[in-house]
Amino acid sequence: MFQREREIITSTPYTDSFDFDEIKAFITGASKNLFISHKFKTSDKILVQPRGGFPTYDKVFELYGAFTGAGVDILPLTIDSNTRLNDYEMARKMLALSEENDENMLNGYPLVNHGYRTTRKMVTHYDTPISLRHGTPDARLLVEVALASGIFEIEGGPITYLLPYSKNFPLDKAFLYWKYVERVCAEYSELNEPINRESFGPLSATLQPPAIVIVIQLLEMLLSLEEGVKSFSVSFSQTGSMSQDIVSSNVIKKLARKYAEKIGCGDADIHLVYHQWMGAFPRNKEFSDSLINTSTVIASMVRADKMITKTRDEAFGIPTKEVNAAAVRNTQYTLNMLRGIPSITDEEEEANLTEMVDDIMEAVFNDPADTLWRQVFNSIKNGIIDIPFSPHIANHGEAITVRDKNYNIRFYERGNVPISDKCLAFERSKIDLCGASLVDHIIHDIGIML
User: Footprint of other proteins on this chain (CB under 8 A)?
Assistant: 167-168, 204, 206, 388-391, 393, 397, 400, 437-440, 442-443, 446
Expressed in angstroms, the distance from the first to the final Cα of the chain is 53
Phi-psi region of 388 (alpha: psi -120 to 50; beta: other; left: phi over 0): beta
Length of the chain: 450
Measured from the CB of residue 402, what is the shortest distance to other proteins in angstroms?
Answer: 11
Measured from the CB of residue 363, what is the shortest distance to other proteins in angstroms?
Answer: 24
Measured from the CB of residue 330, what is the shortest distance to other proteins in angstroms?
Answer: 29
Contact criterion met (CB below 8 Å) for 274 and 238: yes
Measured from the CB of residue 444, what is the shortest distance to other proteins in angstroms?
Answer: 12
Measured from the CB of residue 278, what is the shortest distance to other proteins in angstroms?
Answer: 13
Identity of the residue, 237 or 390, whose beta carbon is nearer to other proteins in the bound complex: 390
Contact criterion met (CB below 8 Å) for 235 and 131: no
Identity of the residue, 151 or 385, whose beta carbon is nearer to other proteins in the bound complex: 385
Measured from the CB of residue 395, what is the shortest distance to other proteins in angstroms?
Answer: 9
Grouping H, G, I as helix, E, B as strand and the rest as coil, residue 181 is helix
Contact criterion met (CB below 8 Å) for 132 and 154: yes
Q: Is the dihedral of CA 352, 355, 361, 362 positive or negative?
A: negative
Measured from the CB of residue 109, what is the shortest distance to other proteins in angstroms?
Answer: 22
Number of neighbours of residue 427 by Cβ within 10 angstroms? 24
Which residues lie closer than 8 Å to 73 by C-beta, 6 or more apart? 39, 43, 45, 47, 48, 49, 128, 129, 306
Identity of the residue, 230 or 396, whose beta carbon is nearer to other proteins in the bound complex: 396
Exposure string (b/e) for 394-411, b if CB count within 10 Å is 16 or more?
Answer: bbbeebbbbbbeeebbbb
CA distance 77 to 136: 14
Torsion angle (degrees, nearest 10) of CA 261, 267, 268, 273:
70
Nearest one of 41, 42, 50 to 73, comparing CA atoms: 50
Measured from the CB of residue 392, what is the shortest distance to other proteins in angstroms?
Answer: 8
Identity of the residue, 298 or 394, whose beta carbon is nearer to other proteins in the bound complex: 394
Helix ranges, 239-396 (H): 242-262, 285-301, 321-335, 347-365, 372-381
CA distance 104 to 55: 6
Measured from the CB of residue 446, what is the shortest distance to other proteins in angstroms?
Answer: 7
Measured from the CB of residue 168, what is the shortest distance to other proteins in angstroms?
Answer: 8
Measured from the CB of residue 162, what is the shortest distance to other proteins in angstroms?
Answer: 13
Identity of the residue, 65 or 397, whose beta carbon is nearer to other proteins in the bound complex: 397
Please report which helix (H) or strand (E) contains residue 269, including its range: strand 269-275
Grouping H, G, I as helix, E, B as strand and the rest as coil, residue 356 is helix
Identity of the residue, 106 or 203, whose beta carbon is nearer to other proteins in the bound complex: 203
CA distance 75 to 129: 6
Identity of the residue, 125 or 167, whose beta carbon is nearer to other proteins in the bound complex: 167
Which residues lie closer than 8 Å to 410 by C-beta, 6 or more apart? 209, 401, 402, 403, 404, 427, 428, 430, 431
Identity of the residue, 316 or 333, whose beta carbon is nearer to other proteins in the bound complex: 316
